[in-house]
Amino acid sequence: MTPAPEAGVAVSHDITGRRTFSMPTVRTRRFAAVAAVLLMLAIAISAGCAGNKPASAPQQAPGPFPLTVTDGLGRSVTIQAEPQRIISLAPSCTEILFALGLGSRVVGVDKFSNYPPEVAGIEKVGGFSDPSVEKIASLKPDLLLGTSMHKKFLPQLEALGVPVLLFEPRNVDGVLADIRLVGRATGRPEAAEKLAEQISGRIERVRSKVQTVPVDQRPWVYYEVYSEPIMTVGPGTLIHQLIELAGGRNIAYDAQTDYPEFSSEVIIQRNPDVIIFPSFHGSAALTPEKLRARPGWARIRAVREGRVYPIDADIISRPGPRIADAVEELARLILPQLFPR
């Protein structure tokens, strides 16, 4: 029996029909090997090209501008391009812009904007309640930010052909919404979201501690906005909410207006545990000594126990990024056992 040929041995037949065997030549073997390698390489390249073949270029995601937003007064405002020259008509708006890292784009502010310190070198466009439209126009802004106080100036401001956003926050959520809106309107939504979360986190840390004190054991607080006439804050105001978040109970919880006038008799009768007043603003000249000297006020528990405190008016009256500072400071004044300095 003729053995089977080994792999690589060529088989042929002679004229008699017998099988013959021959080994391939070296050149043949080399050619076959090279051909096999080239074939494998071609297959690999083909597969690789098929797998890595670039798809048609994806469509570039459209930028956020033109952008239409709804401001704090419910107005629909379209901003054509990312603003580069912004004017703030209110201190709170100024503070939001700087907190979002937009200070280099602010070309004008109202004369009461004083924070952060860099604001001092920026052009002033008039007072908070009486901006100069002529000055605003001369600075060629592409975005104006203001409050509901500036609604009466809207016809003149809109005549400049510049988008105007007005804000009217009445609580912490409103302030955070305004921060996010400014971020969208200026091309900084991520920075605005981060800032809003930081503020929320700080306030929540205070609130969680306050929750350990039963409501009926929290101090009654009288906040004096103005001295002549005596005026405080009602339940519909941001300051009222800040006091409650900080662990206090507002003695004007049942007021029918935002800033009600209270008589000395009513304040004495309600006998607050803590009295707080702004260190400047409407009560610039007010001091604990002057409060104590008011007829009958020496009988008030807060006066008797020396719990009469000034607070920076800017942090508590401006609906901007420093409301977290206000809540933390109020908590130290109202519940010092939980929030020691």
Given 177, 200, 223, the domain boundary residue is 200
Domain identity same for 174 and 98: yes
Given 168, 200, 232, the domain boundary residue is 200
Residue 144 parent element (H or E): strand 143-147
Instruction: Give the Cβ contact number of residue 120 at 10 Å.
Output: 11
Domain identity same for 329 and 279: yes
Q: Is residue 284 part of a domain?
A: yes
Q: Is residue 232 part of a domain?
A: yes
| Peptide bond preceding 66 in cis form (omega within 30 of 0) | yes
Q: Is residue 26 part of a domain?
A: no
pLDDT at 26: 38
pLDDT at 147: 97
pLDDT at 16: 35
The two tokens of residue 249 are 């109970």
Instruction: Give the Cβ contact number of residue 67 at 10 Å.
Output: 17
Domain identity same for 246 and 183: no
pLDDT at 25: 42
Q: Is residue 184 part of a domain?
A: yes
Q: Is residue 77 part of a domain?
A: yes
Q: Is residue 153 part of a domain?
A: yes
Given 148, 180, 200, the domain boundary residue is 200
pLDDT at 64: 86
Q: Decide: helix, strand or coil at residue 203.
A: helix
Domain identity same for 279 and 254: yes
Residue 79 parent element (H or E): strand 76-79
The two tokens of residue 289 are 């000594």
- pTM (predicted TM-score): 0.80
Q: One digit per residue, pLDDT tens: the chain, 341 residues?
A: 333 333 333 334 333 333 333 334 433 444 344 344 333 434 333 333 333 333 333 333 446 899 999 999 999 999 999 999 999 999 999 999 999 999 999 999 999 999 999 999 999 999 989 999 999 999 999 999 999 999 999 999 999 999 999 999 999 999 999 999 999 999 999 999 999 999 999 999 999 999 999 999 999 999 999 988 999 999 999 999 999 999 999 999 999 999 999 999 999 999 999 999 998 744 456 888 889 899 999 999 999 999 999 999 999 999 999 999 999 999 999 999 999 98
pLDDT at 286: 81
The two tokens of residue 91 are 């201190």
Domain identity same for 188 and 87: yes
Domain identity same for 239 and 161: no
The two tokens of residue 112 are 């009461």
The values of phi and psi at residue 176, to 5°, are: -65, -40
Q: Is residue 9 part of a domain?
A: no
Domain identity same for 170 and 252: no
Domain identity same for 186 and 225: no
Amino acid making up residue 109:
V
Do 290 and 281 contact (CB within 8 A), yes or no? no
Q: How many helical (H) and strand (E) elements, i.e. helices and strands, does the chain have?
A: 12, 12
Q: How far apart are CA 150 and CA 56, in angstroms?
A: 51
Domain range enclosing 291 = 212-334
pLDDT at 29: 40
Q: How far apart are CA 322 and CA 198, in angstroms?
A: 11
Domain identity same for 187 and 307: no
pLDDT at 284: 52
Q: Is residue 7 part of a domain?
A: no
Domain identity same for 95 and 135: yes
Q: Decide: helix, strand or coil at residue 180.
A: helix
Domain identity same for 243 and 191: no
User: How many domains are there within the chain?
Assistant: 2
CATH code of 93's domain: 3.40.50.1980
Domain identity same for 230 and 192: no
In eight-state DSSP terms, residue 276 is E
